[in-house]
Amino acid sequence: MVVSHVIDDERTLIEAIHEIAKERVAPRAAEIDRTGEFPWDMKELLAQQDIFALPFPVEYGGVGASELAIVMAIEELARYCATTSLLLAVQQLGSLPILLAGSDEQKQHYFPRLASGEWLAAFGLTEAGSGSDSAAMTTHAVRKGDKYILNGSKRFITNGGLAQVNTVFAHTAPGQGTRGISAFIVEKDFPGFSVGRIEDKMGIKGSQTAELIFTDCEVPVENLLGREGTGFKTAMMTLDRTRPGIGAQALGIAQGALDLAVSYSKQRVQFNQPISANQGIQFMLADMATKVEAARLMIYNAAELIDSGDKNIGKASAMAKMFASDAAMDVTNDAIQVLGGYGYMKEYPAERMMRDAKITQIYEGTNQIQRLVIARALLSEQE
């Protein structure tokens, strides 16, 4: 196993989260997937156990945990339920722009309620016509007096319609590409804000994914994050720091699938012996375990680089997210193969794990975009 460098207090916390996930989260996972309903009980559980508080500074009511501890927490939750792990991951994603670019007044106003879990957060960057190409977004904001008037829509937003705090990106200077994008804190009850379609998804089915619509939405000037034109930089800095969390989600799913495959192979008897006695199965398990451990090393390394204050974290974060999510698809696919016909049935969680793993190759930047990030960083290092 990978030896992590979390402090003793954080190690104790992660051990507690492991037990909570095993005893409280795991029994709910199948039902959450079956109904596709948002797991309010899991949201309350994470709030009660101060798990939502991990990413927030102590002075604003948070725990002030290291990034390494945060990814380990996401990993432990995802090992049993990907939907529940996403609650923590997106609480960090939606609030990190405020941490990076917000004023002290903005942090004082929003962070205590986000850290307590009273409020949920969302990150509004993607649109129907602009996923990887952020410059193509059409949502725009115009300042009128002491307000910005926001018009447009966002698509595929996790916690969409549930989050009280939405970090939304919009053009304030059309024609200037990414340099014309600004970031805003949009509250759920602002005039002109509404929720469109709720998506019916392949996996992470208990997580609500929705369209956000802004129709002359009134956003107070004080809810601008940073300065006009700095929104794209804020978004990219955020994703550099949260992609290891998605990698950790993929890692947790893969670890859960490996656990299942090992356990099943020792119990399933064919030709008068457990199938684990067959070299073909042993080699599959060995390959699965190696991918899981390699992913863990990359994710923990990226998290520690973030904790160290390293400013060149884009490549490591992209590598960790890309490798872990690709590994999760490989491992969950192999887990289904080890289980054979049972793996294809909902009686076992292997098929759910595979469906949940797929999204980790797509959101917070597709793995094709991660390869671009890695290649550009690599080539620029030798200029």
Enter the tokens of residue 359: 């999204």
DSSP single-letter state for residue 168: E
Query: In sequence order, what are the residues at sequence separation of 6 or more whose Cβ sits closer than 8 angstroms to the Cβ of residue 175?
Result: none
CA torsion angle for 170, 175, 180, 183 (degrees, to 10)? 0
Phi, psi (degrees; rounded to nearest 5) at 340:
65, -135
DSSP single-letter state for residue 53: T
Enter the tokens of residue 159: 């916690």
What 3-state DSSP class applies to 36? coil
Residues recognised as catalytic: 364
Helices 279-308 + 314-339 axis angle, to 10: 160
Distance, CA of 189 to chain centre: 25
Going by C-alpha positions, the residue among 85, 87, 367, 366 that lies closest to residue 252 is: 85
Q: How do beta strands 193-198 and 140-144 pair?
A: unpaired
Q: Is 300 exposed, middle or buried (0-12, 13-18, 19+ CB in 10 A)?
A: buried
| β-pair partners for 143 | 148
Contact (Cβ atoms closer than 8 angstroms) between residue 250 and residue 284: no
Contact (Cβ atoms closer than 8 angstroms) between residue 332 and residue 288: no
Q: How do beta strands 121-124 and 193-198 pair?
A: unpaired
